[in-house]
Amino acid sequence: MKLTINFSGLDQALTKMGAQERPFELAAHATKEQSWGELDLELNKDIQLKDIHTGPHKILHINNRPIMLYIPDHSFNFEQTVRNPSVGKKVHFAECTTITNMRYKGFGERYTITEKTKGLFNIYRSNRYNINDKGDHQAKLMPCQNCLRTTGYHDFTYKSQSEKIKFLQAFSYVDLFTHYRAFFKKLPTKKTQADYDYTNDFMQISEAVKQRARFTCAECHVNLANDKTLLHTHHIDRMKSNNALSNLVCLCIECHAKQPYHQHMKLNSNQTNRLARLRMQQGR
Ligand SMILES: [Zn+2]
Ligand SMILES: [Zn+2]
Ligand SMILES: [Zn+2]
């Protein structure tokens, strides 16, 4: 069985924006700079953080399309940022500590996804005293220095303080994206080969993992031998293609839904009630 990620939310958003219906097919085969769209999406409204993956050099991408994340709302820092963009919020393009923390804590809704490489980012202020004046502005926001270290772009880590300042003053997002998009063009475009997809033999592997666990949840220890649909096999490192036994754990759907990045997993009341009853009967 093949499972694929549902990109319909993003597709719809792009269609609304007048983009091609299959933007990623195009993007995946793109060879010319202009083939890349000028994507601007609100995280968690148009697309979820879990749909953003980490690729070569820990670059953030959606379906092999490198993207950046930044917070447009500059609230009380807005005026200062308009005068001096270097005090503004930073632009992330790699799996830095900020992004990893956010994946766990989930404050993603403040972020915007963009692939606009001109280096100007829409910012505003959500000032509760002045609702009608959001002060839209295009700011030359700087890249996140942790992202620069994470990717190793231009040996950033090894630059002296004065070299870093010089490098940041001359920083170009076009250069950054030109450099990293090249790695993605070589990647397989089929989702089945990507890290976020289940392998074709996952059903058999999953069955073996459940048998090994005697159909018991590793967290709450409820036995689901007679309710196998409530039992899942979870990939600990989130890479659905990594079926190493040490990476697989058997969880009831309730404990599964509580794992990091699994906010999308929802239980209905029948399932919650059934699990509660079984745990009680089994004294778990
Ligand atoms: Zn960053
Ligand atoms: Zn459980
Ligand atoms: Zn899981």
Choice between 146 and 198, residue whose per-residue pLDDT is larger: 146
Residue 170 has pLDDT above 80, yes or no: yes
Instruction: Examine the domain organization and report whether 52 and 149 are in the same domain.
Output: yes
Nearest of 130, 127, 59 to residue 99 by alpha carbon: 59
Instruction: Examine the domain organization and report whether 114 and 155 are in the same domain.
Output: yes
**Look-up: residue for tokens 């005293």?**
129
pLDDT at 30: 34
Q: What digits encode the pLDDT tens for the residues 70-126? A: 999 898 788 899 999 999 999 999 999 999 888 887 666 788 888 888 889 999 887
Domain membership of residue 220 as a residue range: 202-282
Instruction: Examine the domain organization and report whether 182 and 244 are in the same domain.
Output: no
> Does residue 175 form part of some domain?
yes
Say how many Å lie between the CA of residue 173 and the centre of ligand 2: 45
pLDDT at 149: 95
pLDDT at 187: 53
Could you give the number of structural domains in the chain? 2
Q: Is the ipTM of this complex over 0.90?
A: no
> Does residue 1 form part of some domain?
no
Which residues neighbour 25 within 8 Å (Cβ) at sequence distance 6 or greater?
Answer: 189
Instruction: Examine the domain organization and report whether 157 and 65 are in the same domain.
Output: yes
Q: Which residues surround ligand 3, an ion (CB under 5 A)?
A: 234
Choice between 266 and 253, residue whose per-residue pLDDT is larger: 253
Instruction: Examine the domain organization and report whether 170 and 215 are in the same domain.
Output: no
pLDDT at 238: 78
Instruction: Examine the domain organization and report whether 28 and 131 are in the same domain.
Output: yes
Instruction: Examine the domain organization and report whether 129 and 210 are in the same domain.
Output: no
Say how many Å lie between the CA of residue 238 and the centre of ligand 2: 18
Q: Residue 195: which pLDDT band, with cuts at 50, 70 and 90?
A: low
- Give, in order, the Cα–Cα distances in Å from 23 to each of 27, 99, 123, 174: 6, 25, 26, 20
Say how many Å lie between the CA of residue 46 and the centre of ligand 3: 22
Instruction: Examine the domain organization and report whether 21 and 159 are in the same domain.
Output: yes
54 alpha carbon, closest ligand: 1
Reduced to 3 states (helix: H, G, I; strand: E, B; else coil), residue 192 is helix
In 3-state terms, the chain is what percent helix, strand and coil (to 5)?
45, 15, 40
Say how many Å lie between the CA of residue 17 and the centre of ligand 3: 33
Instruction: Examine the domain organization and report whether 25 and 162 are in the same domain.
Output: yes
Interatomic CA distance for residues 236 and 193, integer angstroms: 19
Instruction: Examine the domain organization and report whether 42 and 121 are in the same domain.
Output: yes
Q: Which residues surround ligand 1, an ion (CB under 5 A)?
A: 92, 96, 98, 144, 146-147
Average pLDDT, the chain: 80
pLDDT > 70: percent of the chain: 76
Interatomic CA distance for residues 211 and 49, integer angstroms: 33
The distance between the two most distant Cα atoms of the chain, rounded to a whole number of Å, is: 67
> Does residue 193 form part of some domain?
no
Instruction: Examine the domain organization and report whether 119 and 257 are in the same domain.
Output: no
Q: Residue 129: which pLDDT band, with cuts at 50, 70 and 90?
A: low
> Does residue 174 form part of some domain?
yes
Instruction: Examine the domain organization and report whether 19 and 115 are in the same domain.
Output: yes
